[in-house]
A and B are shown apart, each in its own frame.
Chain A
Amino acid sequence: MGRIVEINGPIVRLELPQTVIGEQVRVGALGLTGEVIGRDGDTALAQMYENTEGLRPGEAAEGLGHALSVELGPGLLNAIFDGVQRPLSAVRAKSGDRIARGVEVPALPRERRWAFRPQARHEAGTRLEGGDVLGTVQETASIEHRILVPPDVQGELLEIAPAGEYTVDETIARVRVRDGSVRKLSLSHRWPVRTPRPFRRRDHAVKPLITGQRILDTFYPLLKGGKAAIPGPFGAGKTMLQQQIARWCNAEIVIYVGCGERGNELTDVLEFMPELKDPHTGRPLMERTLLVANTSNMPVVAREASIYVGITIAEYFRDQGYDVVMVADSTSRWAEALREVAGRLGQMPVEEGYPAYLGSRLASFYERAGRVETLSGGHGSVTLIGAVSPPGGDFSEPVTSHTKEIIQTFWALSKELADARHYPAVDWLESFSGYVPSAAKWWAENVDPGWEAARSEALELLTESEELQRIVNLVGVEALSSEQRWTLEAAGLIKEGVLQQSATDEVDSFASPEKQYVLLDAMLQIRAQGMRLVKLGAPVRRLLQLPLLAQARRWKSQYPSEEMAALRAQIAEIPGIFERVALEYAERTVE
């Protein structure tokens, strides 16, 4: 038993000999929990996950003998946890609308019985390795929970429970491990959050994560197992974009980490997710989703932990062979939590108050993304998508610039676009993706061989139009040639008819890959057909009056992804429309 020596905000100095860095501690009469982050002789420094108001020097402190870990097993899905994996609905039942301090509620429900089906090939004598699947539990209608041998256990199976209903505490298998002792396994096991879960080897990411958002999938794709960042000033649309991804992406499991952001945004997710259907399975979205919430008004140290709690749960589902997406909103709040603790410890700040290890912490966090061959030989992936909230929207600040070095896909949000309510406000010039070659393969095989060419053409068009716009802003549109004016119009079509996509419009909110390609291709056709006429000498003024231009901008919200035949029929009329203009113009020149 130790005692409290000093209390300084969330940092507590303890007299606690023989503790180790990372050990969980319980301190004070209230039984607050925290974790050791430093040692000096017989005293230890601990950061507390809960508000330390009311603690006194002299109160008791004890080490709990283990690091911060999460409980992994059936009951994770559909739940909302705080930053140290306390289930918030159960906490509410226990302590009311406000989170009382020192409440202890286990992460997974204890009473609930799960129907366990052992793997048929397992019998006494089978040799088990860490990560092997012992059996399954149908956790929700869409997700089968595969019960894994904990990664650090291997040995001879002595006994496995027959099919039946078990709680997460009951023993379902006994294994004789290397030292001859017997380990009892249950439906759940614990894993320390700051230790990445092991796997056999890294695989190449090959398949794009389809999010249904055109500017993401078509222009700056992300792969399953990839890492992406969404930087942007406040109000630019980081949260909406992440929520859109959580709703529509074709991952099997979605982990939404609200880290230091608004409480209402989690409420929003909690309210809409159960009502929405997974577009890929038709089941309520909540069945594949779980939330980790440490909102901005909750204690800052648990905010730092929440990211690790999220990623460890993500790895656990990966190890079951699933494609998992974790969105973290916002990684900047996590970095700020690091900064706050570093500041209290008197560590030397290097940039804007951040400690020197900011970059390496960010890198090792993102390193936990990836597509892997699991210990049991299957394949799974964790895709990481982190929002970044740069102060003043300045992308040169430490968190954004470090993150940019680490990730492969960068979805830069722009204040100018957001101010004009062009959503998603993804800046098509600032953003990038290192995954285009792999994505191109998939699009060519599954959607259209013309994908890569169409994408490049559109991006060139957008770049060119940026130049032209600069000229217009200086001297007016009259200074442009007819061809340049048509180019500007075509870029407008791409921006308004393809890139802009409303999350609140029922039809537009999600676009299948096919719809994405059809729309893009249509705009490029209009561009080409018009350009041909302009080159032949048709006045661009006449072309700009075509009702087609306003119609094409509305197609995205008129044709749902299932009605592509109808849209294609519309598009088939494009050549005819231009042909009529050509005729009309030819007649005139004849006159």
Chain B
Amino acid sequence: MKNVEYRTATSVQGGLIVMGGVPGVAAGTRVSLRDHAGRLRNGLVIRVSDEAVLVEVFEGTEALDLERTWVRFLDEPFRLPLSRDIMGRIFNGAGQPRDGRPPIISAERRNINGEALNPAARAYPREFIQTGLAAIDGMNSLTRGQKLPIFSGGGLPHNRVAAQIVRQAKLLGEEASDFVVVFAAFGVSSTDARFFQESFEDSGVLNRVVMFLNLADEPVIERLLTPRAALTAAEYLAYDLDYHVLVVMTDMTAYAEALREVAVLRGDVPARKGYPGYLYSDLAEIYERAGRIRDRRGSITLIPVLSMPSDDITHPIPDLTGYITEGQIVLSRDLHNQGVYPPVAVLPSLSRLMKDGIGKNYTREDHPHVASQLFASYAKALEVRGLAAIIGAEELSEADRRFLEFADAFERRFIGQGEDEDRSVYETLNLAWDLLSMLPPEALIRVSEEELAKYHKWQAVP
């Protein structure tokens, strides 16, 4: 059947083409289409019955007609050829080379949809990754095998933050990063893609990066394949070649929009804001591919970047993402406008795996309590700041004024840092104590009395 060309299209409409009377086509099969000009396009069978086969065309159905479209059913799902040689290469969203070099030839060709990991086969991620960013390491730390997205918005420096994490990420006690990087960009501008490329080049990791690019002006439906192809490569690197893989994907919003586009064409019932009800499951199929497996050396740590439409964290894309990922790093427009870099809004940010990767045996014994105290004190300080905006700072009580100063210092000195500043977690914790020492010890009830005695800089208190 692979070699038979069918010319039985019965309708074609925005990205979808219906083929009549092709017997025995398998659901999910890859399709190759040839149009009247002899150009080839790729597609996927998404629905099939005795009478008709519905095909999604990745490059779109523009200029396809019914009479002069020849379709071959390749009788296999989308597969990515894999070998050691993928390192340092650049592919398009469907996994074909776009760096002008020859295609990867390998007997190892894997279905990009993967198969669900057995929960009984997973190993729980516990190894602390130092990113060098205090807002992350101190309060929302990352562990090896975690999926931790960056929630951002137009004009915010998410790319710079992601690139800094890639540059600095390392396990405690290790010198340089031993990560290989899989980078997938979909729906982003070529400027954004180039920014990452250059940043990998500058940090000298380019030969340890695999890139999958589907830029803003490239076929929309191909975006549905891009993250899956990237994760298939990541799984190969992690579980076949024992690498620790850091996967950066941007922008998940573009992905979800592509999914919505196709859903509308298919006539799927919309749930919220026009997104199909299965957006959650679809995103989960992607995000859940991060992790660790028992008795395997490698790991996949996933940092998806997404822009929140109108900075709205309750929008379905960040919302469903937050329900699946193991926390989120939220960037704040306010902090950014005040010149704070990285503008991490620490309160809505969260790392769910932090509790199991910090403290006595991992970072330092006071870390859990210090983080909790920073959260509590900063939350209180923001309340005071709100109050000061109404009644004026002069009207604040003495104690409240200290909180106000704490808020400012915390944002400038703790959250804020240089783009090439790589803080060790100990520096981060010491800095936290410097700042907490601006507050009276009796206001610090989340740290223990022993920790207060050991780390609080009493002299700072009048």
Flag the segment in B12-20, B174-182, B220-228, B266-274 that touches A: B266-274
Assembled-state Cα–Cα distance A504/B368 (Å): 9
> Distance in Å from the Cβ of A210 to the closest Cβ of chain B?
24
| B445 and A550 within 8 A (CB) | yes
Contacts A99-B118, A258-B119; A58 near B442 (Cβ below 8 A):
no
Find chain B residues with CB under 8 A from A9 CB: 46-47
Distance, CA A502 to CA B27, complexed state (A): 49
- Which chain B residue lies CB-closest to A479? B391
- Whether A352 touches B121, Cβ cut-off 8 Å, given contacts A6-B48, A300-B281, is no
* A244-252, A388-396, A428-436: which lies at the interface: A388-396
User: Hey, which chain B residues are within 8 Å of A549, CB to CB?
Assistant: 442
Complex contact B47–A7 (CB within 8 A): yes
Question: Does A268 sit at the interface, judged by CB under 8 A?
Answer: yes
Cα(A230)–Cα(B122), bound, Å? 27
Count chain B CB atoms within 10 A of each CB in A92, A101, A300, A476 and give the residue with the most: A476
* Closest-CB distance, A421 to chain B (whole angstroms): 4
Q: Mask for A319-354, Cβ within 8 A of B = 1, else 0?
A: 000000000000001001001101100000100110
A297 and B116 in contact, given A54-B27, A56-B25 (Cβ under 8 angstroms): yes
Which of A180-188, A259-267, A274-282, A576-584 has 4 or more CB atoms under 8 Å from chain B?
A: A259-267
Tell me the nearest residue of chain B to A418, going by C-beta.
B350
B324 beta carbon closer than 8 Å to chain A: yes
Chain A: interface residue total (CB-CB under 8 A): 80
What is the minimal beta-carbon distance from A267 to any residue of chain B, in angstroms?
Answer: 4
Taken together as a complex, chains A and B put the C-alpha atoms of A98 and B386 apart, in Å, by 51
A392-B314 in contact (CB<8A): yes
The residue among B49, B270, B289 with the most chain A CB atoms within 10 A of its own CB is: B49
Stretch at the interface among A64-72, A132-140, A467-475: A467-475
Please state if B120 and A98 are interface contacts (CB–CB under 8 Å): no
User: B219 at interface (Cβ–Cβ under 8 A)?
Assistant: no
Which residues of A sit under 8 angstroms from B77, Cβ to Cβ? Answer: 53-54
Does B114 reach chain A (CB closer than 8 Å)? yes
A554 in contact (CB, < 8 A): yes
Say yes or no: is A97 at the interface (Cβ < 8 Å to chain B): yes
Are A353 and B117 neighbours in the complex by a CB distance under 8 Å? no
**A234 in the interface, Cβ–Cβ < 8 Å?**
yes
Q: Do residues B375 and A262 form an inter-chain contact, with CB atoms below 8 A?
A: no
Whether A126 is near chain B, meaning CB under 8 Å from some CB there, is no
Contacting pair A419 B347 (CB below 8 A) = yes
When distances are taken between beta carbons in the complex, the residues of chain B under 8 Å from A54 are: 26-29, 77
Contact, CB under 8 Å: A267 / B122: yes
Task: Compute how far the CA of A473 lies from the CA of B397 in the bound complex, rounded to whole angstroms.
Answer: 13
Inter-chain contact B355/A504, CB cutoff 8 Å:
yes
- From B26, B316, B352, A56 is in contact (CB under 8 Å) with B26
CB B414 to nearest CB in A, in angstroms, measures: 16
Partner of B277, one of A51, A266, A343: A343
User: Residue A391 contacts which of B119, B291, B319, B395 (CB distance < 8 angstroms)?
Assistant: B319
Tell me whether A575 is interfacial, beta carbon within 8 Å. Answer: no
Once the chains are docked, how many angstroms separate the CA of A421 from the CA of B355? 13
B11 at interface by CB-CB < 8 Å: no
CB contacts (< 8 Å) of A553 on chain B: these are 445
Q: How many interface residues does chain B have, given as a range?
A: 35 or more
Judge whether B217 is part of the interface by a CB distance below 8 angstroms. no
Residues of chain B within 8 A of A518, CB atoms compared = none
Q: Which of B46, B123, B271, B353 has the most CB of A within 10 A?
A: B271
Contact pick for B114, options A98, A264, A268, A271, CB 8 Å: A98
> A8's contact among B47, B113, B376, B442, by CB below 8 Å, is which?
B47
Is B115 in contact with chain A by the CB < 8 A criterion?
yes
- Chain B residues near A41 (CB-CB < 8 A): none
A459 interfacial by beta-carbon distance below 8 Å: no
List chain A residues, Cβ under 8 A from B113. 51, 53
Encode B374-402 as 1/0 by CB contact (under 8 A) with A: 01100110010011001100011100100
Chain B contacts of A499 at CB under 8 A?
Answer: none
Which A521-553 residues have C-beta < 8 A from chain B? 547, 549-550, 553
| Contact, CB under 8 Å: A296 / B442 | no
What distance in Å separates the Cβ of B9 from its nearest Cβ neighbour in chain A?
18
A554 and B316: CB pair below 8 A? no
Q: Is the CB of A264 within 8 A of B281?
A: no
**Min CB gap A469→B, angstroms:** 9
Q: Please tell me if A463 contacts chain B, counting CB pairs below 8 Å.
A: no
Residue of B nearest to A422 (CB): B376
CA distance A101 to B115 in the complex (A): 9
Residue from A297, A340, A389, A393 within 8 A of B314 (CB atoms): A393
Q: Which of B114, B322, B380 contacts A234 (CB 8 A)?
A: B322
What's the Cα separation between A53 and B29 when bound, in Å?
8
Q: Report if A340-B124 is in contact (Cβ < 8 Å); known contacts: A88-B118, A295-B288, A476-B391.
A: no
Contacts of B383 in A (CB 8 A): 473
Give which listed residue, B50, B111, B269, B281, contacts A353 with CB less than 8 A.
B269
Residues of B within 8 Å of A271, CB to CB, are 124
B28 lies within 8 A of A475 (CB): no
- B residues in contact with A260, CB < 8 Å: 280-281, 284
- Residues of the B chain whose Cβ atoms lie less than 8 Å from the Cβ of A473: 383, 386-387, 390
Shortest distance in angstroms between A466's beta carbon and chain B's nearest beta carbon?
Answer: 14
Which B residues, 252 to 278, have Cβ-Cβ distances below 8 Å to chain A? 268-272, 276-278
Contacts of A394 in B (CB 8 A): 314
Q: Is B43 close to A, CB under 8 A?
A: no
Q: Which of A6, A91, A234, A547 has most chain B Cβ within 10 Å?
A: A234
B125 within 8 A of A: yes
Task: Say yes or no for B449: interface residue by CB 8 A criterion.
Answer: yes
* A301 CB to nearest B CB, Å: 11
Q: Is the CB of B117 within 8 A of A97?
A: yes
A450 at the interface (CB under 8 A from B): no
| Distance in Å: Cβ of A78 to nearest Cβ of chain B | 12
B327 within 8 A of A: yes
Interface pairs (21), CB distance under 8 Å: A9-B47, A57-B24, A91-B120, A92-B120, A97-B117, A97-B118, A98-B121, A99-B115, A99-B117, A262-B288, A263-B288, A264-B326, A266-B122, A300-B281, A343-B268, A389-B323, A391-B319, A394-B314, A419-B379, A420-B376, A476-B395
List 7 A-B pairs, minimum CB-CB distance, nearest first. Answer: A392-B314, A296-B284, A6-B49, A53-B28, A420-B379, A343-B269, A297-B288
12 further A-B pairs in the complex, CB-CB below 8 A; given A57-B48, A88-B120, A477-B397 = A6-B48, A53-B28, A58-B24, A80-B120, A88-B118, A99-B117, A235-B322, A263-B117, A264-B122, A297-B289, A392-B316, A475-B390
